[in-house]
Structure 1
Amino acid sequence: MLLIDSWYTEFRAKLQAIACHLGYTVQEAEDIVHQFFLDLLQKDIPGVIQNPEAWLVTAFKRRLIDLHRSQQRKGHYREIESFHLPSAQEIIEKLETDTALINHIAAAYKKLPARFRRVIYMKYYQGHSTEKIVALTGLTHQTVYNNLSKGIQHLRQHLKKDTVLERLVNFMLCLLP
């Protein structure tokens, strides 16, 4: 039961978004998601689920298909478009073309202290492992880890102040067809 509660908390909004995308109203989507999780509480769930998000999305889509078929039989026809979640590659390609977002992130990156910029550049732009960064810079593992961690933390703070994260989320939502 605790497992399903945590899934409900974590994935409820995503499942509602899927239902809304397929033409259901917000209230209908909320009702369908609630019923979906209530039904899960009554069923035996497989012991080990490696990827609960994928499992839930697949099960939920099947539920929506079953619901559509039953409504179709009753004469309540609702057109369901083919649903496409963008792949990681599609998301990356669209993000790479958003020049305003890239410029904003670059400006936040330039505000970082040099020690943070250096290790972030080596790790994420040059693709070096932590061990390789240690070998190239002479810093300790802990220093490299701390600089990466604090650098990313500073980037998040700068981006939150400028509401870039909000723009990024809105951009990601626009990717859904």
Structure 2
Amino acid sequence: TMYYSPTLRFIVLGAMMYTLSSFEGSFEALRSVSTVAHFTHFTVAHAHLGLYAFFSIVMFGAIYFVMPRVMSWEWPHPKLIIVHFWLVTLGIGIYFVSLSIGGWLQGLAMLDATKPFMDSVRITMPYLEGRTLGGALMTLGHLVFAAHFVLMALRYGTSRVGPALLHNRKSLPEHQAIAGA
């Protein structure tokens, strides 16, 4: 289950982001939406949802699955996988929401012929700060992943005897361990 499997967590999140990206892309194809959103940060949010939140997240899941099998060595610190997951999840969430809202407001301001163009730029500033925060969280997650990857490549930790589980099944009460199996 996703409670135990780092690979499954990343793959399921990536699949959810693909679905959301597909839905948003269909939504953006509507003329009423495209009129406001085109040439704004809204489309940048959509691009990152598809490329980063789908593709990169799925690739992280694949790496978490493949590397122990290639190296015959397990990830030394499964808790770092949890930290990585939540940093990139929160990061892309903040990034996407900030750019979507800021881009929509930017588009509305650009459509108002009575406002100078710089108003459409100024209105996005707080949302670009959100983008920076989200990007910083994703970058921190990447650094956690890179450090963990290097530790594994240097064969720090234990040799592979089974999959890296995010939680030890033996530490749960018996009825929960059976239900989670």
**Interval containing the TM-score (normalised by the shorter chain):** under 0.3
* Structure with larger RCO (C-alpha < 8 A, sep 6+): 2
TM-score, normalised via structure 2 length: 0.26
Larger of the two Rg values belongs to structure? 1
